[in-house]
């Protein structure tokens, strides 16, 4: 059974640009959550999607957005990148909320 796949693994972007990250969940999982991981702030919740609807949102500015497609694949977008957006972005999939959540390997974003 394939795990959670995130692409790309690494990205380098310039301040002010925008970026789109992709996440393919485990087959049969309809819930996809996104987290930002930094050394200073740890793992912080961005948002969660279920059946193409955003069900939950963390405390991040509106520059961070996401969507989910009918096949449960999800994308997150960050516009007007700032240096502080440099982080490991992790996606987790689960069958339903409060069930086992499995993480992908993450996308390492560096903003220069």
Partner 1 sequence: GENVEQHPSTLSVQEGDSAVIKCTYSDSASNYFPWYKQELGKGPQLIIDIRSNVGEKKDQRIAVTLNKTAKHFSLHITETQPEDSAVYFCAASTNTGKLIFGQGTTLQVKP
Q: Which residues bind partner 1 (CB under 8 A)?
A: 4, 6, 31, 33, 35, 42-45, 48, 55-56, 58, 90, 92, 94, 96-98, 100-106
Q: Which is nearer to partner 1, 50 or 85 (CB)?
A: 50
Q: Which is nearer to partner 1, 15 or 33 (CB)?
A: 33
Q: Which is nearer to partner 1, 26 or 78 (CB)?
A: 26
Smallest separation, CB 50 to partner 1 (Å) = 8
Q: Between the CA of residue 102 and those of 39, 56, 67, 81, 106, what are the distances in Å? A: 21, 18, 19, 27, 12
| CA gap 87, 108 in Å, rounded | 6
Alpha carbon distance, N-terminus to C-terminus of the chain: 37
Smallest separation, CB 33 to partner 1 (Å) = 7
Give the number of other Cβ atoms within 10 Å of residue 46's Cβ. Answer: 21
């Amino acid at each position: 059974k394939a795990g959670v796949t995130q692409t790309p693994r690494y990205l380098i972007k310039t301040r002010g640009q925008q970026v789109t990250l992709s996440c393919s969940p485990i087959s049969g999982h309809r819930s996809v959550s996104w987290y930002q991981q930094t050394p200073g702030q740890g793992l912080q919740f961005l948002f969660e999607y279920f059946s193409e609807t955003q069900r939950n949102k963390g405390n991040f500015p509106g520059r961070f957005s996401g969507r989910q497609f009918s096949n449960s694949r999800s994308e997150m977008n960050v516009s007007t990148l700032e240096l502080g957006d440099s982080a490991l972005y992790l996606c987790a999939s689960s069958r339903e909320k409060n069930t086992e959540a499995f993480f992908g390997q993450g996308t390492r974003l560096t903003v220069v």
